[in-house]
Amino acid sequence: MSQSYPFLVFSGTKSRYLAEKICQYLNCPLGNMNILHFADGEFAVSFEESIRGKYVFLVQSTFPNSDNLMELLLMIDAAKRASAKNIIAVVPYFGWARQDRKDKPRVSIGAKLVADLLSVAGIDRIITMDLHADQIQGFFDVPVDHLYASAVFAPYIQSLNLEDLAIATPDVGGSKRASTYSKYLHCPLVLCNKTRAKANVVETIQVIGDVEGKNVILVDDIVDTAGTIVKAAEVMLDAGAKSVRAIASHCVMSDPATERIQNSRLTEMVFTDSIPYSKGCTKVKQLSIAEIFARAILGVIKNESISSQYLMM
């Protein structure tokens, strides 16, 4: 890469697709890095160009499996030992975020542990998007730039030109996020009360609010096995909704999520591309977040505010 650039962007293995798009917006090449894999599953990271005195942006979401997190930690450590000026982790999907508190005795707080690992490895800043819980920002002792997928979702919803629009959340925990969309789009808010039989298994969902004759958009941050989102759509359509679409920031989509979405009564399921998806569900659509991350990177380099790109918070 040309030495005229005051910053360098590198990517982990599984987030290269997104890093390349970010670099297109930044009008810079993607940095040259090598990841050597050993027969026993261990791997080693090396930067193939000088990063001394540079802003180094490391793009890597920490979605399953945990090799993605380990790869990011090694990238950070290698950058620190190569005398980078500032090391910024760009983590569109921050994994383990659902473990943000002790919800029963004798459990770990995984989100805090991962924050500590990244900090100890040597990051100076983290740029992430739609954390499962806003308070996770407080787990870090370095600055956190928390971006919002609403920057791409809100314009998309408006482009649909839906009449009788209603915003809904598939569980009470997402009420704040859904309320923000509801206020921005000037439409009613509907809540769902969900009970679980066990993890990833929904027992019942009750609708709180009127959906009759409405085109409903369900708002969530993560879709994992898709049980909740599919059940919520079914309940709302049974309650008289005209149509139900869903938007969610992070496309975890663990099996059997693809089959559930494909066979569901949802009109469409819209994600960002924070996590790659290639399982071929015709109802799944992904919107790119590359531009909002590129703008955030420029804001960091130029010491400019990035809050101007937030449509809503």
* Tokens coding 84: 């980078």
**C-beta separation of 189 from 179 below 8 A:** yes
Write down the catalytic residue from 14, 21, 54, 194: 194
* Tokens coding 120: 């100890």
For 157-180, give one letter per residue: b (16+ CB within 10 A) or e: beeeebeebbbbbbbeebbebbeb
**C-beta separation of 270 from 156 below 8 A:** yes
Which DSSP string do the residues of 5-31 spell out, in sequence order? -SEEEEE-STTHHHHHHHHHHHT-PPP
Instruction: Quote the CA–CA distance of 109 and 116 in Å, as a whole number.
Output: 11
> At 37, which amino acid appears?
H
What is the helix, strand, coil percentage profile of the chain, to 5?
A: 35, 25, 40
* Tokens coding 171: 């569980």
Length of the chain: 313
The values of phi and psi at residue 248, to 5°, are: -150, 140
Q: Enumerate residues 6+ apart whose C-beta is below 8 A from 177.
A: 169, 219, 220, 221
Q: Enumerate residues 6+ apart whose C-beta is below 8 A from 209.
A: 166, 168, 188, 189, 190, 191
In this structure, the dihedral spanned by the alpha carbons of residues 202, 206, 208 and 214, taken in order and rounded to 10 degrees, is: 90
| Residue 104 annotated to the active site | no
Residues annotated as catalytic are 194
